[in-house]
């Protein structure tokens, strides 16, 4: 894991200030979506070996939710964006 | 002391006498413990993954179910994955119905393993103690201990004075987390992890199984809805049945047949200290943080903690977790503050959505799945192989592994031992 995450609001900060939530690529289905759609949302994961988008919370900083694109093999960070700016909901 | 194996090559049976005899011969007549065969064109069963579970599956397929035309394909070398990257602990102190009889089967297999596969795996039933630090935790451990006893597993609830006599160096009067006692499983302990891989590899090989190292599976070939074989770095190999046992890389292999799994891969670190005089006689786990420790026969303290928490396929972790584990260790045993850590390493864990494993058939008739061991796979090695071999050979689950279904998440039949829901980095 890279030691620094460049927060969109606070700049480069040590990763210990952040809390990881997990996969940001999965989209929450509509409330009346099928059981299969909800099963896939709650339980199934792409779990890629390589680039992975995930939610990180800047717990000890600005307390914003971020979407961090990261490599799960090299741990390099490619991009960071505010979750709200991407229209994402956790 | 030479026996002939099923495929006509001679193998050497290990014994005190054979050690003595070979010493007299200048140790020049030892032979490799398993062959390095060229893959055949076709096998009845191919197992993807030459870790502990893949090798034990091959061993029990050959020994218990008479299926010997088997290949184990390993992308690295035997012992390079999680079977050589764990803290070597064995125990069967599980609470839930779906888990306990399975882990107890594993414990019984550990107890007879060395005689069974004729290899010194240094099985040491030194006892596992889980410390408790509050009345509520004592009650939870009482419930767990009672559940274990109802399953016929040994469990003892120890009070503070008994634990103090056994482990006087613990921080009993910690202001925040005073130690009130421990739940102990006397039959729990440690096993030499590398020897488990080597023993199963040798036992499988001597019964005709081909163990093929440096052979990475790159594709799965299908015709008319069934698997016909695998593309590998050593060419195509055909098979009658394909059995996946790829641990942290399960998703990578399942992607080859567009099967999405309820699994995330996470990194777990483990550590070993400098060699010390005999100090910790048992396996001890901290109840107020995630920390577990034992002492190897060489004197090093072998210990670990929690996973780093983010998805990772890298076999290395982060310094923040190293610091966290060290803090938990010192909180439990203050004397550890002056011990130097020699080495640390990371393994890739197949974290499932309820913290329990999967041993099941799949939507493809001749494809089987063994995955989701989280970071508890080592203790399960014998039973995992036994039950997976049973499933592959008979096409129905072993009686102790009926709950480890792939579809249990869709059916609401989770086995959530820790009770934290479908958040893999919390299990």
pLDDT at residue B3 tops 50: no
Counting one residue from chain A and one from chain B, the pairs whose CB atoms sit within 8 A come to 71
pLDDT at residue B9 tops 50: no
> What are the φ/ψ torsions at residue B394 (nearest 5 degrees)?
-105, -10
Find the mean pLDDT for residues B24-52: 96
Nearest to B153 by CA among B118, B114, B184: B184
* pLDDT for B425: 86
Predicted confidence band at B106 (pLDDT cuts at 50, 70, 90)?
very high
Q: Give the closest-approach CA distance of B214 to chain A in angstroms.
A: 20
Comparing alpha-carbon positions, the chain B residue that sits nearest to A36 is B410
Q: What is the pLDDT of residues B62-102, one digit of tens each?
A: 999 999 999 999 999 999 999 999 999 999 999 999 999 99
Q: B406 with B369: CB under 8 angstroms?
A: yes
Find the mean pLDDT for residues B330-348: 96
B141 vs B137: CA distance, rounded Å: 6
Predicted confidence band at A87 (pLDDT cuts at 50, 70, 90)?
low
Q: Give the closest-approach CA distance of B94 to chain A in angstroms.
A: 23
* pLDDT for A89: 53
Q: Which residue has the tokens 């550990």?
A: B110
Q: What is the pLDDT of residues A68-78, one digit of tens each?
A: 999 999 999 99
Specify the CATH class of A4-26+33-82 in words: alpha beta
* pLDDT for B11: 65
Q: What is the pLDDT of residues B165-215, one digit of tens each?
A: 999 999 999 999 999 999 999 999 999 999 999 999 999 999 999 999 999
Q: Are strands B367-371 and B358-361 parallel, antiparallel or unpaired?
A: antiparallel
Binary contact (A54, B310; C-beta < 8 A): yes
* pLDDT for B73: 98
Q: Map out the domains of chain B as residue ranges.
A: 1-31, 37-427
Best residue in A35, A49, A69 for a mutation probing chain B (most B CBs within 10 Å): A49
The third-level CATH classification (topology) of the domain covering B37-427 is FAD/NAD(P)-binding domain (3.50.50)
Q: What is the pLDDT of residues A22-73, one digit of tens each?
A: 999 999 999 999 999 999 999 999 999 999 999 999 999 999 999 999 999 9
Write out the E strands in B25-153. Answer: 42-48, 70-73, 89-90, 128-132
Binary contact (B311, A73; C-beta < 8 A): no
pLDDT at residue B146 tops 90: yes
Binary contact (A54, B312; C-beta < 8 A): no
Angstrom CA distances, B149 to B36, B95, B272, B333, stand at 45, 10, 33, 30
Binary contact (A47, B265; C-beta < 8 A): yes
- Give B19's contacts (C-beta < 8 A, 6+ positions apart): none
Binary contact (B263, A47; C-beta < 8 A): yes
Predicted confidence band at A2 (pLDDT cuts at 50, 70, 90)?
confident
* pLDDT for A90: 46
pLDDT at residue B8 tops 90: no
Nearest by CB: B252 against A35, A43, A49: A49
Ranges of H-type helices in B9-48: 16-24
Binary contact (A47, B310; C-beta < 8 A): no
* pLDDT for B1: 39
Q: Which residue has the tokens 């893949």?
A: B54
DSSP reduced 3-state for B382: helix
């Amino acid at each position: 894991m890279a030691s620094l995450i460049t927060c969109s609001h606070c700049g480069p900060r040590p990763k210990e200030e952040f809390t990881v939530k997990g996969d940001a690529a999965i989209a929450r289905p509509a409330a009346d979506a099928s059981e299969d759609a909800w099963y896939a949302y709650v339980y199934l994961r792409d779990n890629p070996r390589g680039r992975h988008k995930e939610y990180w919370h800047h717990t000890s900083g600005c307390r914003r939710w971020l979407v961090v694109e990261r490599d799960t093999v090299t741990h390099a960070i490619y991009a960071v964006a505010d979750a709200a700016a991407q229209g994402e909901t956790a | 002391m030479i026996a002939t194996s099923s495929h006509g090559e001679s193998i050497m049976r290990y014994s005190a006498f054979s050690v003595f005899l070979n010493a007299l011969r200048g140790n020049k007549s030892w032979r490799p413990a398993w062959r390095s065969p060229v893959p055949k064109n076709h096998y009845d069963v191919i197992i993807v993954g030459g870790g502990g579970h893949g090798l034990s599956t091959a061993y029990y397929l050959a020994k218990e179910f008479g299926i010997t035309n088997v290949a184990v394909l390993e992308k690295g070398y035997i012992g390079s994955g999680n079977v050589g990257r764990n803290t070597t602990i064995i125990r069967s102190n599980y609470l839930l119905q779906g888990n306990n009889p399975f882990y107890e089967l594993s414990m019984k297999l550990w107890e007879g393993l060395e005689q069974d596969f004729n290899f010194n795996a240094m099985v040491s039933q030194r006892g596992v103690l889980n410390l408790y630090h509050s009345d509520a935790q004592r009650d939870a451990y009482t419930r767990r201990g009672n559940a274990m006893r109802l399953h016929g597993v040994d469990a003892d609830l120890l009070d503070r004075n008994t634990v103090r006599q056994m482990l006087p160096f613990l921080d009993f009067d910690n202001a925040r987390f005073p130690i009130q006692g421990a739940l102990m499983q006397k039959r729990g302990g440690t096993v030499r992890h590398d020897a488990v891989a080597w023993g199963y590899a040798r036992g499988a090989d001597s019964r005709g199984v081909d163990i093929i190292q440096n052979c990475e599976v790159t594709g799965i070939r299908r015709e008319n809805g069934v698997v016909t074989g695998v593309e590998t770095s050593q060419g195509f190999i055909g098979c009658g049945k394909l059995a996946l046992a790829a641990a942290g890389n399960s998703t990578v292999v399942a992607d080859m047949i567009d099967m999405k799994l309820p699994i995330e891969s996470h990194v777990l670190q483990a550590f070993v200290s400098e060699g010390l005089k005999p100090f910790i006689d048992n396996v001890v786990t901290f109840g107020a943080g995630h920390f577990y420790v034992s002492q190897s026969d060489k004197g090093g303290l072998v210990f670990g903690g929690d996973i780093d928490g983010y998805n990772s396929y890298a076999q290395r972790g982060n310094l923040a977790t190293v610091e966290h584990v060290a803090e938990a260790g010192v909180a439990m045993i203050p004397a550890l503050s002056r011990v130097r850590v020699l080495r640390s390493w990371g393994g890739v864990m197949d974290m499932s959505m309820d913290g329990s494993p999967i041993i099941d058939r799949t939507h493809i008739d001749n494809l089987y799945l063994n995955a989701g061991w989280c970071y508890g796979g080592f203790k399960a090695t014998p039973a995992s192989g036994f039950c997976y071999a049973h499933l592959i050979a008979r096409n129905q689950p072993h009686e102790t592994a009926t709950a480890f279904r792939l579809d249990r998440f869709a059916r609401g039949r989770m086995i959530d031992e820790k009770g934290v829901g479908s958040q893999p980095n919390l299990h």
